[in-house]
Amino acid sequence: MSDLSQALSLALELVVTLDPQMLGIVRLSVLVSGSAVLLAALIGLPLGAVLALSAFPGRGALVVMLNAFMGLPPVVVGLGVYLLLSRAGPLGEAGLLFTPAAMVVAQTLLVLPIVAALSRQVVADLWEEYGEQLRSLGVSGLGRMATLLWDGRFSLLTAVLAGFGRAAAEVGAVMIVGGNIKGVTRTMTTTIALETSKGDLALALGLGLILIALVTGVNAAVFLVGQWARRRMG
Amino acid sequence: MRAPDTILPLELERVGFAVGGRPLLDDITLRLEAGVRTIILGPNGAGKSLLLRLCHGLLAPSDGSVRWHGAMAGEPVRRRQAMVFQRPVLLRRSAVANVRYVLALGGVPWRRRGALAMEALERFGLAALAQRPARVLSGGEQQRLALARAWAAGPDVLFLDEPTSALDPAAALSVEMAVQEFHASGTKIVMTTHDLGQARRLADEVVFLSRGRLVELAPAVEFFKGPASPQARAFLAGELVC
C-alpha cells in the first residue's frame, strides 16, 4: 500500500514538475497519434463520402469490412505493418521500421476504418435528408460529397476525435513497429507497459494520469462542440 | 451553343409511374405553358407530389415521356428549374451562405455573389437575418429563404410542393406573395396545395388529379365555377373523395 502511495506521489511530482523525459514521451505520442489521425481523416472522410453516395459492385462488402475493421486488434495491425516494413518485406528498402514514421503508418491503418465507417454513416444519414434538394439544385457528384462533408462537419469531428482516442490509447501496434526505443519511439502507452513490468510505477502512473486526462479532454471537447453546434446550427 | 430563351412548354405524354407493379400515376398527358400559374389539386394520395417530381425530373416515369421545349432533357434543363419543398432543406450555414451556394452552382463569379445574394434576401424580407444560421430560423423564414434561394437561381419554372402546409396563416401569406413575385417576373409556377382558398387566389389554371389519373385540366375560373367531373365537384364541395 505504501509502495502505491509513494509511486503516486512520485508520479504527481513528475507531472507537476513537467519532467523533461516524460514531456518528450508525451510529445511523441501526441505527434504520432495526431499525424495518424490527420492522415486517416484525409483519406477516410472522402472514402466514407464515396461509400455513402455512390453505387458500385462490391460496395456492400466494403462497408461490412470497414465496419468490422473498426475493431481491428492493434497487435495484428502492428504485425502486418511490421511484415511490410521489415528488411525482408516489400517496403523494407525504405528503412522505416522502428521509426516514428512506421508508428504513424500503423496507427493510420488502425484509425482509418473508424473514420471512414463513421463518416460513411454521417454522410448517408445526411443524404436521406438532403438528397432530393441537392438533386433538384443539380449538384454534381463531387459537389454532393463536399456539401455533405461540410454540413456534417460537427458529427465528423466527433468521428475523427474518436479515432484520436483509439490511436492515443493503443499499445500493441506502436510497440511492434516502433520497438519502444528510448528517446526515439517510446510513447506513453509503451512506456507504461515497460515501466510497469520493470516495477517502476512512478513514471507509468504519471503517464497513465496524463493519458487519461488527454482522452478525457478530447471527449469533453467533442461533447462541447456537439452541444454548441446543435444550439448554433440547428 | 446558345440555350433557347425558355425551356417551356412542358409536355407530358402518357406518363405513368408505378412502384412494384402498382400504378401510382397512370396515363397523364398534359401541356404546361409559360406565363400561367398552374395549381395541382386533388385528394390526398392522388399523386400530386409525385407528378411534380416527375415534371422536375427527380423521378423517372415508368411509362411515357416528359419533354421540355420539344425534346430537351438532362442537366441543363434541370438547372433552369427550381423546386421548393414542403419542408425546406437548408444547409447548415448562414442564410446568406445558402443563397451564395446556389449562385456558385450557377457559375456566378465569386465577386458578384455577395450582392446578388443580399438582393435575393432583401426581396423576401430576410436581409436582417442574412448572417443567422439557416436552420434556426422560424418555419416561415426558412420557407422564404428556400424561395430566395430559388430566386437567386433565376429559374424558368418554379415547382412548389405544398409550400405552406406546415406554416401559420401569416407565414403562408408571405409565401403566397413570394409566389406572386416569381409570377410577375415571368417564372412559370407549378404548385400543389390542399388549401382551396390559396388555390383560388393563385391559380390561372387547375390540374385536378384523382387516384393517379388526370381528371381535369381547366382554366381556374371555369374549374371553380363549374367543374366538369363528378370527382372535382365532390372535392370542391368538401366531400370525401379518393
Nearest CB to B91; choose among A132, A138, A151: A151
Min Cα distance B21 → chain A (Å) is: 23
| Cα–Cα distance, A107 to A188 (Å, whole number) | 14
At A231 the pLDDT is: 82
Min Cα distance B8 → chain A (Å) is: 18
| Cα–Cα distance, B57 to A132 (Å, whole number) | 10
For the record, the C-alpha cell of A207 comes out as 503517464
For residue A91, what are the domain limits? Answer: 2-233
CA-nearest residue to B101 within chain A is A147
ipTM: 0.90
If one counts every other C-beta atom within 10 angstroms of the C-beta of residue B80, the result is: 20
Give the Å distances, CA to CA, from A32 to A102, A104, A147, A209.
9, 5, 30, 19
**pTM for this model (two decimals):** 0.88
pLDDT band for position B200 (50/70/90)? very high
At B1 the pLDDT is: 39
At A97 the pLDDT is: 93
If one counts every other C-beta atom within 10 angstroms of the C-beta of residue B197, the result is: 10
Q: Tell me the H-state helices in B108-194.
A: 110-123, 139-153, 169-184
At B239 the pLDDT is: 65
For CA atoms B96, B98, B100, B102, give the dihedral sign.
Answer: negative
Mean pLDDT of all residues in B195-210: 94
* DSSP character at residue B136: G
Contact at CB, B105 and A132, closer than 8 angstroms: no
At A3 the pLDDT is: 78
Q: Which residues contact A187 (CB under 8 A, 6 or more apart)?
A: A25, A28, A29, A32, A103, A174, A178
Instruction: Check: CB of residue B212 under 8 Å from CB of residue B25.
Output: yes
At B72 the pLDDT is: 62
At B82 the pLDDT is: 95
At A158 the pLDDT is: 86
Which of B69, B32, B29, B43 lies closest to B190, judged by CA? B32
* DSSP character at residue A94: G
Mean pLDDT of all residues in B60-73: 83
Instruction: Check: CB of residue B156 under 8 Å from CB of residue B8.
Output: yes
At B73 the pLDDT is: 65
Mean pLDDT of all residues in B109-123: 95
Q: Helix, strand, or coil here: A199? A: coil
For residue B3, pLDDT over 60 is answered with: no
Cα B128 to chain centroid, rounded: 26
| All domains in chain B, ordered by first residue | 10-236 (3.40.50.300)
Domain count, chain A: 1
As a whole number, the mean pLDDT across chain A is 92
- Interface size between A and B, measured as CB pairs under 8 A: 47
| Cα–Cα distance, A61 to A16 (Å, whole number) | 50
Please report residues of B whose CB lies closer than 8 A to that of A156: none
Q: Which of residues 111-150 of A touch B (CB under 8 A)?
A: 129-130, 132-133, 135-139, 143, 147, 150
CA angle, corner B65, sides to B61 and B67, nearest 5? Answer: 120
Low-confidence ranges of chain A (pLDDT < 70): 1-2
What CATH number does the domain containing A127 carry?
1.10.3720.10
Contact at CB, B83 and A143, closer than 8 angstroms: no
For residue B116, pLDDT over 60 is answered with: yes
Looking only at the bridges linking them, the beta strands covering B10-19 and B63-68 are: antiparallel
At B4 the pLDDT is: 54
